[in-house]
């Protein structure tokens, strides 16, 4: 692996390539095999959420190796009051079949005040039910509001949309996260699989004897501190994706990518769900 490990605030370290699980469940046993193969290859961060309906699948996949994996789950905004967050966490723990979540996120901004959610996160952390907490789908201004709250500087990450077609965060959110030494999690790094036939990616992939999917993942992880969490539903896809960790894109590759998928030159509001 060429990319450096990601180091969270509490010292926990993970591979910059994790595993997403949104829309898993239709091919359950194949998907569990895929997650397990990923874990055996070092992709120990697994991303789920109460919304996805995949926590029990993830729990089954990691039953034999809970302490080797880094589980990420998320509370729905509609549940993110103080009491609701604590209740939702208990339910996630039960579905996951574990007594702690490594990283617990607010899925996106809702109508409950951040202060309530963060107070619940801090208590869950003290109780040992979550190791760390963070946010998802928050732009810079909202991240500033989080850091200003009591316990706010314990925020461990922000999980946001980032792929070749959605590069807006390069303008301000990535630099902001770097200034706060906060790892960022890049979701939908493959554009839900749509981008892999793009001619630029095909050409670069040929030069590296790689696949376009591997190029997209190597590109996402080229910035230190960014964790890519593609969802792969088969062992073959997991194995292919893992090989992106050995790729280093050249200056020429990056120039061609920039020409095909331009970087932002002004503030673009955070895209996402």
The site for ligand NAP (CB under 6 A) is made up of 20-22, 47, 107, 136-137, 159, 187-193, 196, 213, 229-234, 237, 240-241, 272-273
11 or 70, CB closer to ligand NAP?
A: 70
252 or 273, CB closer to ligand NAP?
A: 273
For the record, the structure tokens of 138 come out as 């928050």
45 or 128, CB closer to ligand NAP?
A: 45
The single-letter DSSP state of residue 132 is: E
3 or 244, CB closer to ligand NAP?
A: 244
The single-letter DSSP state of residue 193 is: G
Task: Please enumerate in sequence order all residues whose Cβ is within 8 A of that of 273, keeping only pairs 6 or more positions apart, or say none.
Answer: 108, 137, 161
Task: Please enumerate in sequence order all residues whose Cβ is within 8 A of that of 12, keeping only pairs 6 or more positions apart, or say none.
Answer: 70, 102, 131, 132
81 or 188, CB closer to ligand NAP?
A: 188
HSE of 115 in the Cβ direction (CA atoms, 13 Å)? 3
Report the nearest approach of ligand NAP to the CB of residue 188 (Å): 4
The single-letter DSSP state of residue 236 is: H
Residue showing the smallest CB distance to ligand NAP in the complex: 20
93 or 229, CB closer to ligand NAP?
A: 229
Report the nearest approach of ligand NAP to the CB of residue 262 (Å): 20
Q: How far apart are CA 268 and CA 222, in angstroms?
A: 21
Report the nearest approach of ligand NAP to the CB of residue 251 (Å): 25
Report the nearest approach of ligand NAP to the CB of residue 118 (Å): 18
H-only helix segments in the chain:
28-40, 55-62, 82-96, 114-126, 140-147, 173-179, 199-207, 212-220, 235-242, 251-260
Q: How far apart are CA 201 and CA 109, in angstroms?
A: 34
93 or 164, CB closer to ligand NAP?
A: 164
196 or 265, CB closer to ligand NAP?
A: 196
Report the nearest approach of ligand NAP to the CB of residue 21 (Å): 5
Report the nearest approach of ligand NAP to the CB of residue 240 (Å): 4
How far is CA 205 from its chain centroid?
Answer: 24
Burial environment of residue 150 by CB neighbours within 10 A (0 to 12, 13 to 18, 19 or more): exposed
Q: Which residue has the tokens 């699948």?
A: 57
Q: How far apart are CA 40 and CA 38, in angstroms?
A: 5
């Amino acid at each position: 692996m060429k990319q450096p490990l990601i180091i969270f605030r509490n010292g926990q370290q993970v591979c910059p390539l994790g595993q997403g699980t949104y829309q898993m469940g239709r091919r359950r046993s194949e998907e569990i095999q895929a997650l397990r193969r990923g874990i055996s290859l070092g992709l120990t961060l697994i991303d789920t959420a109460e919304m996805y309906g995949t926590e029990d699948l993830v729990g089954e996949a990691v039953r034999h190796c809970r302490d080797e994996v880094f589980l990420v789950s998320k509370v729905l905004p509609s549940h993110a009051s103080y009491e609701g967050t604590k209740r939702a966490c208990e339910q996630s723990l039960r579905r996951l079949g574990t007594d702690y979540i490594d990283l617990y996120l607010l899925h996106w901004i809702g109508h409950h005040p951040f202060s309530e959610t963060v107070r619940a996160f801090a208590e869950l952390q003290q109780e040992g039910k979550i190791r760390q907490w963070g946010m998802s789908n928050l732009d810079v201004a909202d991240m500033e509001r989080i850091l200003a709250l009591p316990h706010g500087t314990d925020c461990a990450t922000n999980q946001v949309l980032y792929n070749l077609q959605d590069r807006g965060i390069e303008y301000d959110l990535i630099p902001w996260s770097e200034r706060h030494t906060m790892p960022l999690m890049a979701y939908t790094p493959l554009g839900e699989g749509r981008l892999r036939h793009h001619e630029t990616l095909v050409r670069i992939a040929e030069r590296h004897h790689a696949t376009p999917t591997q190029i997209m993942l190597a590109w996402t992880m080229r910035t230190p501190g960014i964790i890519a969490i593609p969802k792969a539903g088969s062992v073959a896809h997991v194995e292919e994706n893992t090989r992106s960790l050995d790729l280093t894109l050249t200056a020429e590759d990056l120039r061609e990518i920039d020409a095909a998928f331009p970087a932002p030159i002004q503030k673009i509001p955070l895209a996402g769900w």
